[in-house]
C-alpha cells in the first residue's frame, strides 16, 4: 500500500501532461513537438520517481527467515537458497 501512496502524486503529474494537450490544444504539451523541459519535468522525471518508489518499497519488504519455504526441484527450501545468497553477498 505504501508504494501506491508514494507513486500516486507522480502519476497524477503524468496524467496532467497527457491530458493537457487534449484539453487545451497547446503544442507545448505535445509529446512529439512540445517543449523538452515540460516533457522532462512532467513525464520523464515522474516516471523515474514512480519506478524508484516501487523498487524502494519492494526493498523494504521484510524477508521472513526460518519460515517454511516452497520445495524446489533439488529438495531444498526456498529459504535455504535465500540464506545461501545472503551469506555469499556478505
Cα gap 45→19, rounded to integer Å: 17
Domain residue extents for the chain = 1-59, 63-90
Contacts of 76 (CB under 8 A, 6+ apart): none
pTM of this structure: 0.56
pLDDT tens-digit profile, the chain (90 residues): 777 888 888 888 888 888 888 888 888 878 788 878 888 888 888 899 999 888 888 888 776 655 555 555 555 555 555 565 666 666
Give the pLDDT confidence score for residue 34 in this predicted structure: 80
Burial class of residue 20 (count of CB atoms within 10 Å of its CB; 0-12, 13-18, 19+): middle
The answer to whether 83 and 65 have CB atoms below 8 angstroms apart is yes
Q: In terms of Cα–Cα distance, which of 41, 4, 40, 38 is closest to 24?
A: 38
Amino acid at each position: 500500500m505504501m508504494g501506491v501512496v508514494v507513486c500516486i502524486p507522480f502519476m497524477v503529474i503524468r496524467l496532467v501532461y497527457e491530458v493537457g494537450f487534449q484539453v487545451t490544444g497547446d503544442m507545448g504539451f505535445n509529446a512529439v513537438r512540445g517543449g523538452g523541459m515540460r516533457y522532462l519535468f512532467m513525464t520523464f522525471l515522474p516516471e523515474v520517481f514512480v519506478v524508484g518508489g516501487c523498487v524502494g518499497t519492494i526493498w523494504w519488504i521484510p524477508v521472513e527467515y526460518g519460515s517454511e519455504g516452497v520445495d524446489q526441484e533439488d529438495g531444498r527450501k526456498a529459504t535455504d537458497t535465500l540464506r545461501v545468497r545472503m551469506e555469499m553477498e556478505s
